[in-house]
Amino acid sequence: MTRSSNDNGNGETHQQSGGDVPDLTTAQGIPVSDNQNTLRPGPRGPALLEDFVMREKIFHFDHERIPERVVHARGYGLHGHFELYETLSDLSAADIFQRPGEKTPVFVRFSTVAGNKGSADLARDVRGFAVKFYTQDGNWDLVGNNIPVFFIQDAIKFPDLIHAAKPEPDRGFPQAQTAHDNFWDFMSLMPESMHMAMWIMSDRTIPRSFRFMEGFGVHTFRLVNAEGQSHYVKFHWKPKQGLQSVLWDEAVKVNGADPDFHRRDMWNAIEAGDYPEWELGIQVFDDEFADNFEFDVLDPTKIIPEEQVPVRIIGKMTLNRLVDNFFAETEQVAFCTQNIVPGIDFTNDPLLQGRNFSYLDTQTKRLGGPNFTHIPINAPKCPFHNFQQDGHMAMHNPKGRANYEPNSWGGAQGGPRETPRRGFRSYPEQVQGEKRRLRPESFADHYSQARQFYLSQTEVEQAHIADALVFELSKVKTVAIRERMVSHLPNIDEDLAKKVCEGLGLAKMPQAAEPAHPVNRNLSVSDKLSILKNAPDSFKGRKIGLLLSDGADDALIEALMSAAKAEGAMVEVVAPRVGGVTTAGGKAIEADEKIDGAPSVLYDAVAVIVSAEGAEKLAAIPQARQFLSDAYAHYKFIALGGEPDALARAGGLPEGGDGGILALGGTDAGAFVAQCRALRFWDRAS
């Protein structure tokens, strides 16, 4: 029996076209009568080559994939705008920096670096923080990271760095991880990477959310004003939400429970109207500062501490719109460091100079030709005119005769003309020297700022750095590589070196690596480098996991829900069944998650409101026990309401609790949420 297009075989009928439902057609617009069956002679005959409907459909499907980015393959894109607070006309002629209050549309893509497109969100990795500003003078791309320094000083080392970080080529693993021999072999042979090594071993590489991390332009750029005067500048993004990271044990578990943890977080926040915001800050300095600074401002492995050059806040970016189509926007967006506008300029940072080649080159391959600027997400939103033409998929095809310049056709017919008044001019920096392959002497100090970073952390954060190094190097099979890496640590901090040496069980402390430049052991601590010293003072935008059972107290639930709402926090209901629970008052509350799918690592704090019988039943479920034992182990605030004793005991909570465990009486919900503002009960760690 043959099956008609409108019968799926179960007797159900598909929706037919007509009214608001458009007719299905081929890409050529030919209406399709049957989208279920291939054309064949007789019901059991071979497929006919003539079937252009089937062939076109499968042909197109076969070509759906484009190469993923060679780095930063996994990303999440969002729309928003940038609003300028104050004019910068004294410093920069950039159109975007002229008129306070003016909003410029932006597209942002957050990403991990090493993992492929399908890897998990909470890999220990740098996060990309790329912003495309659609300014009235063309697109400006600030292609930054969530860490202000980089691994290497010269772009020529980038392929080596990335090869070493990616899966090893013979075995094809590990995916999205730096915990392997090749990576640490390379790092330990590159002392210039030691400052970055401290950052990537810190909790910066396991952010709780894209919303709770900083962004940095990394390189020193130039701002150039209308008079042609130049100042150096470093760009910073400061999240209004504050900084927050997860623990490594959480990261490992989150990756299993929800590999999309970061993109889901962003989706949920924007869907809820809780739009994340970052302020744009600039560190501005001149040649005199640059000449006197302890390090070379062109060296991308160095920061300028905010205590030395304060960050001046100049505007705010708000992300408030999800993409309509992930492929069209997030996948096809092409950020490029060479996209710069009049009033901003490059410096000779050797990494930046190399990047200016790489991005355009890789995008031409990834997006299939030179016309990727015609794709809506990449096209400028201001008028643009030039004599570029043809090529694959050309979408902007100017009319008329003139496709060259100069021409004598005149007027509109002659096409666009150069504009010395508005046009981009490079800052006329004096450059001279011998043509050689050289690394400047001024780039030679590799340890002093690594030490400064380490010493600027709280004790908890320092412990995390040591633990992360021990974890990563424990995955390195070659002892000589472990030892070589540890040999750099005494140049950073003796105590750190000792902890890692002991943690690895090395027979003896390796001899310290010989620094190419004496280590400055007296750089001042910079509080801005710590996450915990810059923690938020609100629980806004965070999430409570509320575990309920049948017979739970209605008033307690209600009180917790409204306290969370008042703070701007979210509550997700977790229950033994997704159908939910029936409260003591007989009210049905649907669950957002069944307990098996909602471990407490997905939440910033947890609350349990249960009846005595419900607590007994939950105590028998391993995931319910872990919900509490993990929350406790991860220093989370825990609220216990109703009659939770059986579950609290089974979950291993200490008899009598601790300062981070709150018994939820009638009026305590507000106090609990207020306590949660500290994000974690770190006292439990000591």
Nearer to ligand HDE, 122 or 486 (CB): 122
Which residue from 355, 464, 543, 680 is in contact with ligand HDE, where contact means CB under 6 A? 355
From 35, 63, 81, 145, the catalytic residue? 145
Instruction: Provide the annotated binding site for heme.
Output: 69, 109, 158, 355, 359, 366
Please enumerate in sequence order all residues whose Cβ is within 8 A of that of 684, keeping only pairs 6 or more positions apart, or say none: 632, 635, 658, 660
The secondary element (H helix, E strand) that includes residue 452 is helix 448-455
Contact status: 261 vs ligand HDE (CB under 6 A): no
Reported as type and span, the H/E element at residue 320 is: strand 312-322
Residue selected from 94, 130, 344, 570 as contacting ligand HDE according to rule CB under 6 A: 130
What number of other Cβ atoms are within 10 A of residue 194's Cβ? Answer: 26
Q: Site residues for ligand HDE, window 316-345 (CB under 6 A)?
A: 334-335
Given 145, 188, 209, 283, the residue binding ligand HDE (CB under 6 A): 145
Closest CB to ligand HDE among 337 and 462?
337
CB of 148 to ligand HDE, least distance (A): 9
* Selected binder of ligand HDE within 144, 207, 305, 651 (CB under 6 A): 144
Task: Dig out the tokens for 484 from the structure.
Answer: 């070589």
Among 47, 58, 70, 620, binds ligand HDE (CB under 6 A): 70
The CA distances from residue 620 to 580, 591, 616, in Å, are: 18, 19, 7
443 scored as a contact of ligand HDE (CB under 6 A): no
Point out the catalytic residue in the list 72, 195, 231, 262: 72
Judged by CB, which is closer to ligand HDE: 131, or 647? 131
Catalytic, 72? Answer yes
- Is 145 annotated as catalytic? yes
Candidates 140, 285, 359, 454; binder of ligand HDE (CB under 6 A) is 359
The site string for ligand HDE over 190-229 (x = CB under 6 A, - otherwise) reads ----------------------------x-----------
The amino acid present at 460, given as its one-letter code, is: V
Q: Which long-range contacts (CB under 8 A, 24 or more apart) does 526-530 make?
A: 526/305, 526/306, 526/307, 526/452, 526/456, 527/456, 528/305, 528/306, 528/307, 528/456, 529/303, 529/305, 529/452, 529/453, 529/456, 529/457, 530/456, 530/457, 530/458, 530/461
What's the distance, CA 238 to chain centroid? 14
Q: Which residue is closest to ligand HDE by CB?
A: 128
Q: Which residue ranges make up the annotated binding site?
A: 69, 109, 158, 355, 359, 366
In the list 82, 97, 107, 150, the residue contacting ligand HDE (rule: CB under 6 A) is 150
DSSP 621: S
> Is residue 351 near ligand HDE by the rule CB under 6 A?
yes
**CA dist 494 to 130, 451, 489, Å?**
37, 10, 7
Least distance (Å) from ligand HDE to the CB of residue 330?
8
Q: How far is the CB of 143 from ligand HDE (least distance, A)?
A: 5
| Binding window for ligand HDE (CB under 6 A); candidates: 71-79, 167-175, 279-287, 673-681 | 71-79
CA angle (57, 62, 65) in 5-degree steps: 125
Using the Cα atoms of residue 208, residue 202, residue 233 and residue 73 in order, give the sign of their dihedral: negative
Alpha carbon 19 to chain centroid, angstroms: 43
Token digits of residue 38: 């291939």
Q: Site size for ligand HDE, by CB under 6 A? A: 26
Residue choice 53, 71, 120, 485 for contact with ligand HDE (CB under 6 A): 71
As a three-state string, the secondary structure of 29-64 is CCECCCCCCCCCCCCCCCCCCCCHHHHHHHHHHHCC
Nearer to ligand HDE, 108 or 615 (CB): 108
Residue of 80, 93, 95, 111 interacting with ligand HDE (CB under 6 A): 111
Residues that bind ligand HDE (CB under 6 A): 69-72, 75, 109, 111, 128, 130, 143-145, 150, 155, 158, 218, 300, 334-335, 351, 354-355, 358-359, 362-363
- Active-site residue set: 72, 145
